């Protein structure tokens, strides 16, 4: 049975990865892409959405503008620049020929859920959860028709940090970026009772772009070297941050939301309740209480990272269109430490 999916996120290199996986599968029907502020400004994210879909030979997928800041009103705080000023690591993507949609992301999400059978639409949510929180506040009955919301955000276990002894986040020692940028919105969504599958950072850190995987990707796109430069430029954008804070190769975070949808047996998790600190020094901190009665399924283990990467590799090879010229900045050197 084909899965109907809306991709909601702060479109950048991470969303490129998950979109490639979904678009390459005959088991998935991506019906729309919604933008939310995050790695960079909303307007840049919105542009990136169209250009990334164009890179992935998906100009038929409509893309919609969304929240400009937390709560849909205020401007966000400065991020950490992990994905560069343009949100895609400085890569100059070929502009999409497709016209952007004018309908707001929240209205598109709600209209889709009203017009489709209950339980048949999945939303991948890989940026701040503001669009989802606004839709929930506007029409909770309609949002209850969603089949699943697969979220990348938070951190539910202590991680060893290269710069501090223990980390629960990548934007601060206590907080993961997406939840930090809109902590109240994240808390509202996670407390909503909606069916949510959460990929926290302690799970996503189990899949990284090692030098070996980078070589495999370049080999897979050997016939499209400029396309390989663009993809690797986006994927390697956070290399300095991940090395400095975690002693890791660039982490592949958001792609898990797509890989899980297609290959759930490659993950292990537990149900429970997830709390997000909404203000103060620990804003964005995630705390997980396991419970069989919980509504949030928290993924904690990747069973086979190499197999997951191979699925991603096949998807990128299939979807990335030939680029006319080199479109990426000079790539930073590969990290020295070995990572998972």
Instruction: Report which DSSP code applies to 94.
Output: P
C-beta neighbour count of 216 within 10 angstroms = 15
Check: CB of residue 112 under 8 Å from CB of residue 104.
no
- Distance, in Å, from the CA atom of 48 to the CA atom of 158, rounded to the nearest integer, reads 33
Check: CB of residue 103 under 8 Å from CB of residue 109.
no
To 10 degrees, the CA torsion angle through 167, 168, 172, 175? 180
State phi, psi for 273 to the nearest 5 degrees. Answer: -115, 140
- Distance, in Å, from the CA atom of 26 to the CA atom of 162, rounded to the nearest integer, reads 41
C-beta neighbour count of 156 within 10 angstroms = 25
State phi, psi for 173 to the nearest 5 degrees. Answer: -60, -20
Identify the active-site residue in 42, 54, 205, 253. Answer: 253
- Length of the chain measured in residues: 340
- Distance, in Å, from the CA atom of 127 to the CA atom of 48, rounded to the nearest integer, reads 14
Question: Cα separations (Å) of 86 from 38, 70, 202?
Answer: 11, 20, 27
- Distance, in Å, from the CA atom of 68 to the CA atom of 35, rounded to the nearest integer, reads 9
Q: Is 253 a residue of the active site? A: yes
Which residues are catalytically annotated? 253
């Amino acid at each position: 049975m084909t899965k109907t999916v809306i991709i909601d996120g702060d479109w950048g290199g991470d969303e490129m990865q998950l979109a490639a996986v979904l678009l390459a599968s005959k088991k998935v029907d991506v019906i729309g892409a919604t933008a939310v502020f995050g790695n960079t400004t909303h307007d840049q994210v919105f542009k990136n959405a169209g250009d990334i879909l164009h890179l992935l030979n998906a100009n038929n997928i409509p893309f919609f503008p969304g929240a400009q800041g937390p709560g849909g009103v205020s401007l966000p705080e400065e991020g950490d620049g992990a994905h560069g000023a343009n949100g895609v690591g400085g890569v100059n993507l070929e502009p999409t020929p497709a016209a952007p949609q004018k309908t707001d992301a929240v209205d598109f999400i709600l209209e889709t859920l009203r017009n489709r059978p209950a339980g048949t639409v999945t939303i991948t949510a890989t940026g701040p959860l503001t669009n989802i929180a606004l839709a929930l506040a506007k029409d909770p009955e309609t949002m209850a028709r969603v089949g699943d919301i697969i979220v990348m955000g938070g951190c539910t276990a202590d991680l060893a940090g290269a710069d501090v002894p223990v980390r629960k986040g990548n934007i601060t020692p206590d907080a993961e970026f997406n939840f930090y940028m809109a902590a109240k919105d994240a808390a509202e969504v996670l407390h909503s009772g909606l069916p949510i599958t959460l990929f926290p950072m302690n799970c996503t850190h189990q899949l990284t772009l090692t030098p070996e995987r980078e070589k495999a990707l370049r080999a897979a796109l050997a016939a499209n070297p400029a396309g390989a430069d663009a993809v690797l430029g986006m994927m390697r954008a956070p290399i300095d941050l991940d090395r400095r804070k975690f002693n890791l190769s660039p982490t592949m975070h958001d792609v898990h939301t797509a890989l899980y949808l297609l290959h759930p047996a490659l993950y292990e998790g537990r149900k429970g309740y997830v709390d997000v600190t909404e203000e103060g020094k620990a804003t964005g901190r995630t705390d997980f209480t396991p419970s069989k009665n919980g509504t949030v399924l928290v993924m904690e283990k990747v069973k086979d990272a190499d197999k997951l990467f191979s699925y991603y590799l096949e998807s990128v090879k299939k979807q990335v269109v030939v680029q006319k010229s080199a479109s990426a900045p000079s790539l930073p050197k590969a990290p020295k430490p070995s990572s998972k």
